[in-house]
Structure 1
Amino acid sequence: MLLDFDGPVCDVYAGLPASEVAAQLRTLLVARGADLPEHMLAQDDPLEVLHYSATLGEDLNRATHDVLTELEVNATATAQITPGVEDVVRYAADVGKPVAIVSNNSVAAVRAFLGAHGLLPMIRFIAARAEADPRLMKPNPHLVRKSLIELAAVPARTVLVGDSLTDIQAAKAAGVLSVGYANKPGKVDRFAVTSVDFVITRMHDLLPLL
């Protein structure tokens, strides 16, 4: 079982809003001489700011990535764990089904949160953002494929649980089953028009699939 991090495992920005993190990244870019376009000045998604930084050169991209990683780690201190995920991870461990985290968030942030909540020993592998290059992030199946190799998993017998369309796209590209976690109003309808294999509204809904 492969779990996306922000959503299925926790709400990363519950205490430190994503909009505030994005604003700090924009401030960094402007301070380094970047002339941000109108749409980027209003961008509230930190990962989208990281994507844009890659168009500004390697140095700015790396600086943005490093600051984002630090802010993500800080955010995990006030992140809220997703109801039911602890039961799912513990049950998977009990029945011998390996679990990996597949996330566009940083490895450092994922490890910090899992460690703080006692879940790290039950996670076999973490395939998360370790490089500044946003092209390696989902919907690119790169991280999913890394997990499959590490777990020696058969794609057709593996599921990726995610709350975004990029998760579904990455799962499809890697040949694994996809589970859309509809944790907000409207997501059931959005998943319905994709090639998602299953849709759940609670993490506990995963238990019969394990």
Structure 2
Amino acid sequence: MSTKVRLHVARVLARTHIVLIPLDGTLCDFYRGVDTAAIADRIYEMLFSAGHRMSVLTAIQPDPLAKMGYAYSVGPDYGAQAEEMVREAELAAATTAVPTSGAQEVLQACRASGRRIVVAGDICSDAMETYLDLHGLRPVVEAVVGREQRPATSEWPGLDLARQAVKALGAEPSDCTLVSMSVLGMYAAAEAGIQAIGVVSRNGSRKHLAGTGGSVVVSSLAELAGALTAVPATDSYEPSP
């Protein structure tokens, strides 16, 4: 057992049989170079052309998923049209997404240590499958849980997807750990009753990631990969005397 793996991290990993990893923001920068505000504008123009008038605050919302949710609230047909616009953009983005340093090592370490992997994200499953295939990662991932598996008007997509990811493998929440660079991911894990490991990034500080209850934090995906290799999944861990 490597002394470089801190005790509280080792204890979480010992109880980790299934690893849940968000695609965008953890495995990769999915929308690198994509003008997501332009997608939101297309949804606005579709609704405006259909005679719908929205509030100024809604109209200037640059998040295409928020605009898509709004379109569903207007009507299912409008929502379906918005969803198709977003899906087309996601399929294109999958071919230009930039992998996060250390992400492939984490997936390989999970597989080598016998841990099962679910990749989840508020992205259509086809786009996530495309990304994983392009980077040779699909064989190590047991399940992909995309946006189709949460309610169209979900108020907390991350929580719904985390719960669906657990169900996808017929697992118990206590056997699962969410790995995320997002504070929202840490909160979603806590609400879903699963463990969480935060990974420090340029957008998320150790302090913020650690401030979500029982979450533990590592400095990088490379550090996590080493820890996954060093600590077997045994349900409990006690340091050697």
With structure 2 as the length reference, what TM-score do the two structures score?
A: 0.77
Instruction: Flag the structure with larger Rg.
Output: 2
The one of 154, 157, 160 equivalent to 1:138 is 157
- Aligned partners of 2:50 and 2:135: how far apart in 1? 37
- The equivalences for 1:25-174 within 5 A come to 25-130=43-148, 133-135=152-154, 138-140=157-159, 142-174=160-192
* Residues 148-167 of structure 1: CA deviation (Å, up to 9, x unaligned): 23323332231112233432
Q: 1:163 to 1:54 in 2, by over 3 A?
A: farther
The question of whether the paired residues in 2 share the 8 Å contact of 1:136 and 1:143 is answered with no
Query: Mean Cα displacement is larger for which, 58-67 or 33-42?
Result: 33-42
Deviation per CA, 1:97-137, whole angstroms, max 9, x where unpaired? 11001211111110111111110111100111116713185
Q: Which runs of 5+ in 2 are unaligned?
A: 1-18, 229-241
Which aligned segments of 4 or more residues in structure 1 are displaced greater than 4 angstroms? Answer: none
CA distance change for structure 1 residues 186 and 97 in 2, over 3 Å: closer, same or farther? closer
Classify the secondary structure of the residue corresponding to 1:161.
strand
Unaligned 5+ segments in structure 1 are none
Taking the aligned partners of 1:57 and 1:92, their CA distance within structure 2 comes to 42
SS in 2 for 1:104: coil
Q: Partner letter of residue 205 of structure 1?
A: E
Report the 3-state secondary structure (helix = DSSP H, G, I; strand = E; otherwise coil) of the residue aligned with 2:163: helix
Q: CA deviation at 1:196?
A: 5.3
Percent sequence identity over matched residues?
Answer: 25
2:146 match: secondary structure: strand
Contact conserved, 1:29 with 1:64, CA < 8 A, in 2? no
Matched position secondary structure for 1:13: coil
1:138-180 deviation line (CA, Å, top 9, x unaligned): 243x322332233233322311122334322321122111223
Larger relative contact order (C-alpha < 8 A, sep ≥ 6)? Answer: 2
